[in-house]
């Protein structure tokens, strides 16, 4: 057994990305345990017989071992695969089980949840991730692998790559160790802020924003100013060009925020546009279009009974 294999992976959250990671790691022979929300969810999982992953139209059941946070065994390696708004609470329930020097991989989109988690885990190394893979749930404990992509991982406090990247390699999880993961997360956040809220407000596919070029351009200017002020010049560089490229390349798609709102699901707004506006306020930076966009989006969500955080 090599070093990268010595530790069992624990994966909290058997949703879209949690399932994608769990199934591929298990197929590569990596020992792992899923951590589910409650005894009721564990019972439902056992009734389902495991996780089902649908790939290229074919569904396959994987009877992976699962437990709840109440299990006593220590955790040395944890993949936190819940939504950003669940991350701090989820980790609070697990913190007593984390061994000294444990490694926690944070898959959450946006920014803000990572700091909230790290503040609760002084004994652990937190590794941040940013992924372009796509998956969605089409039933309980059933996930469709919708789009192959790439995952960047990095640790702003310690640039040395962890040994378990070899597990990801064997599992076919396409990844790179990033020496500037914060720049990647900020860039993705800025792309999200320039595209997703407008698709919700105009109720359109990404391509619908081609009809609002001036609004998109002004948002990109303000976002680039914010990134500069936050010490992220590389994330600010040529932002508008990339936003336009993404709008063109994904013209037929509905953004993740649009899908969440259309299906009455809570969004991650507080970790995306909300985080951007809070950072601007902290730097006393006046960004009128971004602020108005945030207010319009909050009103839109409130009118549909969806939370603002």
Site for ligand NAP in 198-227 (CB under 6 A): none
By the rule CB under 6 A, 90 interacts with ligand NAP: yes
- Nearest distance from residue 135's CB to ligand NAP, in Å? 5
- Nearest distance from residue 252's CB to ligand NAP, in Å? 17
Q: Is 144 exposed, middle or buried, given 0-12, 13-18 or 19+ CB atoms closer than 10 A?
A: buried
By the rule CB under 6 A, 268 interacts with ligand NAP: yes
Place of tokens 């005894």: 39
Token digits of residue 96: 């007593």
Helices and strands (DSSP H and E) totals, the chain: 12, 12
For the chain, state the CA radius of gyration.
20
Q: Is the dihedral of CA 210, 211, 214, 215 positive or negative?
A: negative
Window of 9-17, 167-175, 191-199, 220-228 that interacts with ligand NAP by CB under 6 A: 9-17
- Nearest distance from residue 269's CB to ligand NAP, in Å? 11
83 catalytic? Reply is no
Out of 7, 16, 178, 206, the residue judged to bind ligand NAP by CB under 6 A: 16
Site for ligand NAP in 25-44 (CB under 6 A): 35-37, 41
In the complex with ligand NAP, which residue's Cβ is closer, 83 or 294?
A: 83
By the rule CB under 6 A, 107 interacts with ligand NAP: yes
By the rule CB under 6 A, 103 interacts with ligand NAP: no
In the complex with ligand NAP, which residue's Cβ is closer, 246 or 287?
A: 246
What are the residues facing 137 on neighbouring strands? 143
Catalytic residue chosen out of the listed positions 10, 76, 97, 188 = 188
- Site for ligand NAP (CB under 6 A): how many residues? 28
- Nearest distance from residue 213's CB to ligand NAP, in Å? 27
Q: How far is residue 195's CA from residue 245's CA, in Å, rounded to a whole number?
A: 11
SS3 (DSSP) at 274? helix
- Nearest distance from residue 109's CB to ligand NAP, in Å? 3
- 277 to each of 188, 289, 301, how far by Cα in Å? 15, 10, 17
Out of 27, 48, 67, 86, the residue judged to bind ligand NAP by CB under 6 A: 86
- Nearest distance from residue 24's CB to ligand NAP, in Å? 14
Question: Is the separation of the CB atoms in 261 and 267 below 8 Å?
Answer: yes
Token digits of residue 230: 């936050």
CB atoms within 10 A of CB 16: 18
SS3 (DSSP) at 103? strand
User: Closest Cα to residue 89, out of 16, 132, 135, 38?
Assistant: 38
Q: In what order do the strands lie in the sheet with 134-139?
A: 58-62, 51-55, 142-147, 134-139
Q: What residue number has its CB nearest to ligand NAP? A: 15
Out of 109, 192, 199, 232, the residue judged to bind ligand NAP by CB under 6 A: 109
What are the residues facing 88 on neighbouring strands? none
Site for ligand NAP in 131-190 (CB under 6 A): 131, 133-135, 137
By the rule CB under 6 A, 83 interacts with ligand NAP: yes
| Angle (CA) 63 51 29, round 5° | 55
Q: Which sequence positions are flagged as catalytic? A: 188
User: Where along the sequence are the contacts to ligand NAP (CB under 6 A)?
Assistant: 12-18, 35-37, 41, 81-84, 86, 89-90, 93, 107-109, 131, 133-135, 137, 268
């Amino acid at each position: 057994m090599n070093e990268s294999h010595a530790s069992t992976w624990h994966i909290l959250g058997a949703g879209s990305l949690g399932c994608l990671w769990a199934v591929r790691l298990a197929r590569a022979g990596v020992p792992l345990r899923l951590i589910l929300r409650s005894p009721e969810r564990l019972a439902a999982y056992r009734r389902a017989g495991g996780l089902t992953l649908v790939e290229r139209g074919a569904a396959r059941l994987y009877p992976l071992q699962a437990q709840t946070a109440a299990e006593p065994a220590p955790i040395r390696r944890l993949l936190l695969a819940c939504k950003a708004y669940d991350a701090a609470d989820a980790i609070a329930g697990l913190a007593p089980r984390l061994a000294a020097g444990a490694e926690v991989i944070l898959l959450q989109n946006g920014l803000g949840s990572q700091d909230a988690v790290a503040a609760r885990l002084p004994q652990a190394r937190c590794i941040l991730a940013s992924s372009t893979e796509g998956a969605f749930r089409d039933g309980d404990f059933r996930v469709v692998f919708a789009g192959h992509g790439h995952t960047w991982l990095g640790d702003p406090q310690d640039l040395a790559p962890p040994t378990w990247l070899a597990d990801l390699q064997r599992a076919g999880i396409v990844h790179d160790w990033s020496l500037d993961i914060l720049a990647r997360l900020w860039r993705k956040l800025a792309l999200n802020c320039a595209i997703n809220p407008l698709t919700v407000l105009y109720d359109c596919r990404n391509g619908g924003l081609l009809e609002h070029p001036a609004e998109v351009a002004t948002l990109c200017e303000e976002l680039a100013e914010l990134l500069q002020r936050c010490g992220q010049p590389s994330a600010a560089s040529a932002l508008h060009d990339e936003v336009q490229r993404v709008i063109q390349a994904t013209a037929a798609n509905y953004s993740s925020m649009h899908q969440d709102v259309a299906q009455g699901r809570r969004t991650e707004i507080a970790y995306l546009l909300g985080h951007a506006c809070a950072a601007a306020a902290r730097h006393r930076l006046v960004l009128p279009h971004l602020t108005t966009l945030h207010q319009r989006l909050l009103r839109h969500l409130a009118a549909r009974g969806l939370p603002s955080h």
